Structure 1
């Protein structure tokens, strides 16, 4: 069985594909061009967007993390922000809700819109949202893994993945130029592949507890770990 983990990167989208022959890496400028033939695909990107306010799954994910790591779960744009650039989305949020949009989330607006346009509720049988830092925190039993952008933090996360049975992703770091795919992108995508494997095996956790809410398009707003 093949599963895949997907993350956005400077070059577009990357997928770490995990099958019987180990790990492989694929890069494409557009999401559909990844053309993934996998039983489950876990994506490190919001699926399902609230009309206003925060998503319950993001609140639940932040509660699982220690305070220094909570910033890694940032509020995604609300649905009315799709199609806007960050500055306009920030102004619109403040005018409508009294809460703008972080620049970090604003930089992902085109990726989030692309993913949203590609999915229907029926696709969520196979395509799920994941969050690497929430997964790593649980697998490491709360141990401090450091910042993922440092060499030490990356090695700590690679070790967590190996202990969980994922082949070492270190050999994928230089498949593409680092100007297009950073090492921590690869590690995050590998973590998503592990989440996909856990979903396929029926061993993954899901946030929030209970039946997840749906957005205006009928997409479930949930994070799998």
Structure 2
């Protein structure tokens, strides 16, 4: 497996998976010599790293509600059944202006009737970063996807938790990785399956949740792209 250390000319590979992680954005793409991985600090650097024709599947909310919850998140949770909690509910846009976790929770409760999970507050900076970067010109090639939905669709059934050895092994099998082959982290595996979603999207082998997505107040589509089961 090739791993790009950063720098140099734009990276090759038109189908890119991008997973938000603690130190930025974990990217994965399939090149001629196998999977390549790179962790990039900011999303503007992600866009600059790949050719303009690259298609990016991103695990981060794109398109935010004014109040309540997005239909795509509720449909995604329904698909995952008893594993519904693996999909975070995107917060209303007003929540992103909160300066503290307490303020975030108060606004979230007022606009949705419920408190937000603790992990949602932690990803607010990345939701904001992505929201500010994506204009209408990128909607056709940068879209939201979710690793758990992708793995389930490709495997034909829900997989064990990615935080267990069994879950990691199951995800590696879906990706066709040999037991000794990298990657070893769930962020890398998530980015890799998102890369497959990007390729399937280009091939017309995906669907959207919902089938007819609405746009938010800024014109961003509120949708999640899911593979069509082979």
**Same fold flag (TM > 0.5):** yes
Is the strand fraction higher in 1 or 2?
Answer: 2
Give the shorter-chain TM-score range. 0.7 to 0.9
Inter-CA distance 32–128: structure 2 relative to 1 (3 Å threshold): same
Q: Answer whether contact 2:92 2:111 (CA < 8 A) is retained.
A: no
Say if 2:40 is the partner of 1:28: yes
Please tell me whether the aligned partners of residues 17 and 25 of structure 1 are also in contact (alpha carbons under 8 angstroms).
yes
2:130 to 108, 115, 120: 115
State whether structure 2 residue 104 is matched by structure 1 residue 104: no
User: In the TM superposition, what are the counterparts of 1:111-150 in structure 2 within 5 Å?
Assistant: 111-142=126-157, 144-150=158-164
Task: Please state if 1:218 is matched with 2:219.
Answer: yes
The number of residue pairs the alignment matches comes to: 210
Cα distance, 1:20 vs structure 2 = 2.7
CA contact (8 A) 1:41 1:193 kept: yes
Residue pair 2:68, 2:92 contacting (<8 A) in 1 also: yes
Structure 1 residue ranges without an equivalent (≥5)? 175-182
Relative to 1, partners in 2 of residues 1:90 and 1:26: Cα closer, same or farther, differing over 3 Å?
same
TM-score normalised by L of structure 1: 0.87
Which 4+ stretches in 1 moved above 3 angstroms? 167-172
Aligned partner of 1:195 in structure 2 is: 197
RMSD across aligned positions (CA): 1.9
Relative contact order (alpha carbons < 8 A, sep ≥ 6): 1 or 2 greater? 1
**How far apart are residue 15 of structure 1 and its match?**
0.3
Relative distance call for 1:171 and 1:55 in structure 2 (3 A) is same
CA contact (8 A) 2:20 2:59 kept: yes
Instruction: Say if 1:39 and 1:200, in contact at 8 Å, map to a contact too.
Output: no
